[in-house]
Each structure stands twice: as C-alpha cells, then as structure tokens.
C-alpha cells in the first residue's frame, strides 16, 4: 500500500477532528486538573503554616532589644537608691511575659516551644526576684541579689528569646525550601504528563499522512532538548497545521518564561541578601543612639558641657559616615573615621574601663572595603571582651598590606574565650549561624562579595583577650555590590 493509498483511506474515514480534540482534551485536562488541585492544596497547607510562623517571628520581634540593659539599669538605680530611679520595672517584665504567653499558644516546633516556655518561666522567676529585692533591707544583700539573680535572669531571658527567633526564622527558611521543592516536583510531573500526552498525539496525527511527520519529529526533538535542560529560545517550527504551530510557539514562550522566572528568582535572592545586610545596620543604630543620647543627657545634667559637645560632634561624624551617601562600599579612610567616632563615643561612656588605639597604614587609606566591616568587630570587642574584664581594658585596631590583600586586626585584652566557646564561635562563623554579635554577618558578607578565601579568623586566650583578623582583597575601583554578588 502506497503512502497515498494509506492517506486516502484514512482521509475518507469519518473522523471528526473536533471530537478527537475533545478526547485528547479530556485526557489532558483530567490529570492536569488533579495535579493542579493537589498543588494548590499543598501550597495552601504550606501557606497556612508559613503565615503562622511569620506571625510568631513578627510578634517575637516586638520584644524589647534593650530588655536586659533596661531592666539591669533600672534595678541598679533602685538598689543604689539613685535619683534616676523610676521604681521597680515590673511592667517591662510583665510585658515580656505576656509576649511569651501569646507566642506559646501558636508555637509548634519543639525547640522554639521550649525556648519561649523557658522565657515565660524566667519572667515569672524574675518578677519574684524583683519583689524579693524590694523586701530586702540590707544594701549588701540587695547588691548580691542583683548580681546573682537579676543580671543572670535578664541575660537568660534575652538569650532564650533570641534562640526562639533563630529557630522560628530557620523554620521559615526550611518551609520555604519545602514549598519550592514540592512546586518543582508538581511542575515536573505536569511536564511528564504533557510530554506523554503529546507523544500520544503525535502517534495519532501520523494517520493524517506523511505531510505532518517532519514537523512533528522536529517538535519531539525540541521537547527532548528542553527536557535535557536546553532552555535556549529558538525559532518556532514552521507547520501548515495550526495546532502544531501553536504547540511550537507555546513551547518557545514557555522556555522564555522559564528563563524570566529563573532571572527573577536570582534577583530576588540578591535583594534578600541586600536586605539582610541592611538589617545589620538597622539593628545597630537604634540601640547605640539611645545609649549615646542618654549619656549626652547625663553629661549636660552633670555640667560637663565641653564633653557633651565633643560627644555630639562624634555622634554626628558617626552617622555621617554611616550614611556614606547610600554607598555600601567605602574607602578604608571612611571606615576608620567611622570606627574612630564610635570609639570616641564609647570612651566617654566607659571612660573608666576603655582606652583604644587605631593604627592603619596610610597607604591603604584610598582602598575600598565594605561599609560596617570594622565597627561590629570593635563593638564585639567592647561588649564581650572589655566589659567582662575587671579594670582598664584596651582595644587596638590595626591595618596593613600583605601582598595583594588588606589585613585588618581588631584585638582586645579583655576576658577572652575558653577553648569550648572559641570552637563554638568559629563553627558558627563557618556555618553562617548567628552568634549574637555580628561576626557571622561580617564574615558572610565578605565571602559573598569576594569569595570563600576571604573573611574572618578568630583567636582568643582566656583572661588575655581576643583577636579578630579580617582579610579582603586590594581594590580601588568602585563597583556595584549586586554585580559582585552575581559574579
């Protein structure tokens, strides 16, 4: 039988293309509708969970970031009977307890539930200890209770609240990953059904004659290429049949749309990183500004007008360099001024325990580094080194060139860390976990910008102090941070 006879036989058979399309539509629509319903139900379930966890994180974020400092300071004023005393901070403790109570009802993850439950218990314990101090008449006993009870409990409350936020944020990220994987699986399944149905359609269309075999074969090869990962947009296949032409056009539009979605997702990830880095600066400024203004008020009230003027000048310089005209990459000279202003302010606040020196080679002044590289490290040296040591302490900031790299060193002679704590900090930096005082964020940002061979190195000796080394490449040309992330 010739090709013509085969075609004539089937052409004269009463076959309705509309009916065949209806049958094919039924074969397509039923499984796809099932997959879509399944996909939407899964996404709806994840969306509810995501909303609950997001609500927990948002609510927990209302926790006073200065809770420990506020409670400790007010209790200290109360114990020493200072004229700045505002009475017992019972309301602040009750607010923290009410926050923990509200979160306890919506928290399901075991680690998060344990952390917020501990916050709830510690708040009740803290309240009783505050009343215990109120009922204690001896000044020495009050001081002892302040040191052994209040300071310890406020530190634990703040630590557990941060632990709760960390676990809930981790769960958000985990849930987002599951949603993405499930969505990709559903899309892959839909594509598999689509390919299978299309092959069946090709087999059925072969009955219409040799005239459509060639374009259909080309379309099959194109589908195979897409399945193998070739997402290059190509010229659609030319065919006389409207249906085949429409399929070819649709595939190319799908490839184009997939490329757009991939690029969109990439841009969203870049924006997410930028927002995370901006969050570091947003977390630093309010707390620091509050304490600095409080110190300025104290200086003015004490009649130390010259020191208050100097501190206002330093604060102005600090925020001027913080803004840096919106740039994320600044010169080392600007970063040095920023740290200088910060230390000048802190030295007024901690004049009895803090002295500092900055020694950065002049030849490095015009080289560029990411903004807020040194300041978090200096702040860490102050709050977790010098303040934990009795007596006068010193922070040194040094900078020198080593071949094609800039080496920055922030060292203090504070309390230092034992081997267990040092191992924990190094592990947290390496795994990009938050250790509570900026090291992970600085390290992650440097590696994001410059590569895995750059970042932070931490050394510490208990009772002698801690040294943080920063290694970044030499560069003078200004660049866009997002471009560096893409590369």
| More confident call, 55 vs 82 | 82
Helix (H, G, I), strand (E, B) or coil at 417: coil
What average pLDDT does range 181-192 have in this prediction?
A: 70
Structure confidence at residue 14 (pLDDT): 38
Query: Would the pTM count as exceeding 0.85?
Result: no
How far apart (Å, rounded) are the C-alpha atoms in residues 37 and 31?
Answer: 10
Same fold, 34-185 and 352-486: no
User: What is the pLDDT averaged over residues 379-391?
Assistant: 88
The larger pLDDT score, comparing residue 295 to residue 387, is at 387
Q: Under CATH, what is the fold of the domain 352-486?
A: Heat Shock Protein 90 (3.30.565)
Q: Give the DSSP letter of residue 429.
A: H
Arithmetic mean of pLDDT, 55-70 = 71
DSSP 167-227: HHHHHHHHHHHHHHHHHHHHHHHHHHHHHHHHHHHHHHHGGG-GGGHHHHHHHHHHHHHHH
Provide the pLDDT for residue 312: 81
Per-residue pLDDT, averaged over 431-457, amounts to 78
Average per-residue pLDDT for the chain:
76
Bridge partner list, 460: 466
Rounded CA-CA distance 384/458 in Å is 13
pLDDT in tens, 142-167: 888 888 888 888 888 888 888 887 88
Q: Where are the domains of the chain?
A: 34-185, 352-486
CA 442 – CA 121 distance, rounded (Å): 34
Give one word for 144, left, alpha or beta, with left for phi > 0 and alpha for psi -120 to 50: alpha
Alpha helices, DSSP H only, in 15-85? 17-60, 67-79
Q: Which CATH architecture has domain 34-185?
A: Up-down Bundle (1.20)
Question: In the structure, what pLDDT confidence band is assigned to residue 460 with cuts at 50, 70 and 90?
Answer: very high
Q: Which of 15-19, 42-46, 169-173, 464-468 has the lowest mean pLDDT?
A: 15-19
Q: What pLDDT digit, counting tens, does each position of 277-327 carry?
A: 554 554 455 666 767 777 777 777 777 777 777 778 777 777 766 666 667
Over residues 38-60, the pLDDT tens digits come to 667 766 666 676 676 666 677 66
**What's residue 79's pLDDT?**
86
């Amino acid at each position: 039988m010739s090709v013509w006879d085969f075609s004539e036989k089937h052409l004269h058979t009463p076959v309705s293309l509309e009916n065949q399309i209806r049958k094919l539509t039924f074969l397509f629509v039923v499984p796809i509708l099932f997959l879509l319903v399944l996909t939407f139900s899964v996404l709806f379930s994840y969306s509810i969970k995501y909303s609950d966890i997001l609500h927990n994180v948002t609510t927990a974020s209302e926790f006073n970031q200065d809770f420990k400092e506020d409670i400790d300071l007010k209790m200290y004023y109360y114990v020493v009977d200072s004229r700045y005393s505002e009475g017992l901070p019972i309301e602040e403790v009750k607010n923290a307890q009410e926050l923990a109570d509200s979160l306890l009802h919506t928290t399901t993850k075991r680690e998060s539930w344990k952390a917020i439950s501990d916050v709830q218990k510690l708040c009740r314990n803290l309240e009783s200890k505050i009343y215990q101090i109120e009922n204690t008449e001896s000044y020495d006993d009050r001081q002892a209770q302040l040191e052994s009870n209040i300071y310890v409990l406020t530190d634990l409350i703040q630590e557990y609240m941060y632990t709760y936020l960390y676990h809930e944020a981790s769960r958000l990220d985990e849930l987002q990953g599951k949603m993405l994987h499930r969505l990709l699986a559903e899309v892959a399944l839909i594509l598999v059904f689509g390919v299978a149905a299309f092959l069946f359609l090709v087999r059925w269309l072969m009955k219409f004659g040799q005239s459509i075999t060639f374009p259909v074969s080309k379309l099959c090869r194109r589908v195979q290429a897409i399945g193998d990962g070739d997402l290059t947009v190509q010229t659609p296949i030319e065919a006389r049949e409207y249906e085949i032409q429409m399929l070819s056009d649709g595939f190319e539009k799908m490839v184009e749309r997939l490329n757009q979605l991939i690029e969109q997702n990439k841009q969203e990830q870049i924006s997410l990183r930028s927002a995370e880095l901006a969050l570091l600066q947003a977390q630093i400024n309010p707390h620091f500004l509050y304490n600095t203004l409080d110190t300025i008020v104290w200086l003015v009230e004490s009649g130390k007008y010259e020191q208050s003027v100097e501190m206002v000048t330093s604060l102005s310089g600090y925020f001027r360099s913080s803004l840096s005209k919106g740039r994320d990459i600044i010169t080392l000279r600007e970063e040095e001024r920023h740290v200088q202003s910060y230390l000048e302010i802190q030295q007024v606040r901690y004049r009895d325990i803090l002295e500092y020196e900055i020694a950065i080679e002049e030849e490095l002044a015009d080289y560029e580094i990411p903004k807020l590289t040194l300041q978090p490290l200096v702040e860490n040296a102050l709050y977790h080194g010098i303040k934990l040591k009795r007596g006068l302490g010193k922070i040194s900031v040094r900078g020198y060139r080593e071949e094609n790299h800039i080496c920055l060193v922030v060292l203090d002679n504070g309390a230092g860390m034992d081997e267990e704590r040092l191992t924990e900090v190094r592990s947290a930096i390496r795994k990009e976990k938050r250790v509570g005082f900026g090291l992970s964020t600085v390290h992650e940002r440097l590696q994001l910008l410059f590569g895995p061979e750059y970042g932070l190195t931490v050394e510490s000796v208990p009772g002698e102090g801690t040294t943080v080394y920063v290694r970044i490449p030499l560069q003078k040309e200004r660049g866009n941070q997002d471009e560096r992330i893409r590369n």
